[in-house]
A and B are shown apart, each in its own frame.
Chain A
């Protein structure tokens, strides 16, 4: 799952150190448009629906947090 997510992120915005950064939103590595793409990609890839309430910086600041969100939404489904 991690590798799939990294591949998606690399496609949306290449050249960012996704493995180590935990300020992807706070430091503007991912902007609002990237988030729109990312949400669409994640929903397709992992068969989840990401509600608007979950679109908060804390959930997208790092790969680990994104994985936690995906797992949570998969469990809820």
Chain B
């Protein structure tokens, strides 16, 4: 059962909504929790146990951290300043240990299921390098769906309790629902406890407004997913699986189509997820903000998979770049080489770590690691050359925000993203490099003809449907980019216009969605991460 399947949309979700609405306010969170566990069980079976362990882990360690803080407070009462300092240091050390242990347990679970085989391969490479005749055969345990998402939410909860940003929650059920809420378990967004837990546990009544808005958002997600992403699945598969048969033009086309497909699939699913949350009156964090209007790669990553980016920023980038050692480096360099380049060393170490983790988070394979370092290199180059580029704009009296210049910057960023996605989708780093090379060495524009397109299952009507739907998404994106709340605008229109738009959207998805034997739905790409 997946979010875009009829079993979910016309059976599971309406049934949960009905039971949720019928029971009292206090029982509603439990209905959501039971529904979540049933949903996860249908996907992962007994592997649900990992999620239960993660829940028990953060519940126990959160309380332990809070108890330690309370004990510290008791201990430092009536002490002088120096004694207080000593005691505080002692307790801080203890809390660091507790936090470390909690994160370690969560990391062990994710490592056993995602990274053991990759670790084994690398150990064997190292042993071979030192000519040691020993081989390890490590394999991954079967990974429960969504483990990367809920593990990150779990870690953020523990770190936030440790930092004193939130208080530990004694309510095991609230924590369980925070980690397991069924709409977001498969592909995120990665929520923070302080933003969603209370909201989840409120048990708000389903209102007409929330239901309409939620269903609209779900339909828009289905439009992206079923009409565009799934229609592009066959050509993308044919190109990436048969990369050796195609020249540079088709491989470039494959990379472009895959980028569109990934965006439409992932953001479409997120629309369904957020829409489902909206029905229950739960506001889940946005994960996309028109990423293809970004003028540089840093901006792209602040608009694409936003919750993952902010997670890395809050729990890896700033803790590393603002650690004692980094602060020392930054302070001494700032005095010597100025405010721009001063923080560059500490920033680069932190950035490198973030992108290594980002690559590995997506999967235990070298092409994902390469994908991470590719973006790291692009951001690093921008960090180094930004002052020079800004000076250039100033000397030449160019306004970088002027429409034409902005368009060039957006196109440049999009090209960089497309090449990154080529490595991301390629079956291995080696194949990715071969494909990349072919784009520049075997670029023959005449190979892009109707015969090839038809062989790739890109028939005329496919292209027209995809083109028109992309245009719809593009126009909606422009409106959103201008800060106009299109849904509120529609809600203010007369009832007959409103319902005409809703019906048109639903019919469009039903008529033009990619169903049947000709199409292979896209596997839930992000659910594997």
Contact = CB atoms under 8 A, between A and B. Distances in A.
B163 A53 contact: yes
A37 B343 CA distance: 6
Given A40-B330, A40-B334, A32 B317 contact: yes
B334 A33 contact: no
A52 B340 contact: no
A41 B360 CA distance: 34
Interface residues of A, number: 19
Given A37-B334, A40-B330, A51-B163, A12 B339 contact: yes
Contact of A40 (B163, B327, B383): B327
Nearest to B294: A28
A44 B335 CA distance: 12
B347 interface: yes
A37 B330 contact: yes
Given A11-B339, A55-B318, A36 B347 contact: yes
* SS class, residues of chain B in contact with chain A: helix
B339 A37 contact: yes
Nearest to B342: A37
B137 interface: no
Contacts of A41: 339
A17 interface: no
A44 B383 CA distance: 24
23 contacts: A12-B339, A28-B298, A28-B302, A31-B298, A32-B298, A32-B317, A32-B347, A33-B347, A33-B383, A34-B339, A36-B322, A36-B330, A36-B343, A36-B346, A37-B339, A37-B342, A40-B330, A40-B331, A51-B163, A52-B322, A53-B163, A53-B164, A56-B314
Contacts, number: 54
A45 to B, nearest CB: 13
A63 B351 CA distance: 26
Interface string B295-336: 000110010000000000110011101100001001100100
B165 interface: yes
Contact of B321 (A36, A51, A53): A36
Interface string A28-65: 10011110110111001000001111011000000000
Contacts of A52: 163, 314, 318-319, 322
Contacts of B298: 28, 31-32
Given A28-B299, A33-B383, A40-B330, A55 B342 contact: no
A39 B322 contact: yes
A1 to B, nearest CB: 20
- Sorted nearest first, the 6 A-B pairs with minimum C-beta distance are A36-B343, A53-B163, A37-B339, A33-B343, A52-B318, A55-B318
B344 interface: yes
Contacts of A55: 314, 318, 322
Contacts of B327: 40
Contacts of A53: 160, 163-165
Contacts of A37: 330, 334, 339-340, 342-343
Contacts of A34: 339
B464 to A, nearest CB: 37
Specify which of A32, A39, A55 lies most central, judged by the most chain B CB atoms within 10 Å of its CB.
A32
Contacts of A56: 314
B340 A33 contact: yes
A51 to B, nearest CB: 7
A12 to B, nearest CB: 5
A55 B347 CA distance: 15
B65 to A, nearest CB: 14
Nearest to B394: A15
A33 B302 CA distance: 15
Interface in A1-19: 11-12
A32 B160 CA distance: 21
Contacts of B351: 32
Residue of A39, A53, A55 with most partner-chain B CB within 10 A = A53
A53 B314 CA distance: 8
B156 to A, nearest CB: 12
Contacts of B322: 36, 39, 50, 52, 55
Nearest to A12: B339
Nearest to A57: B310
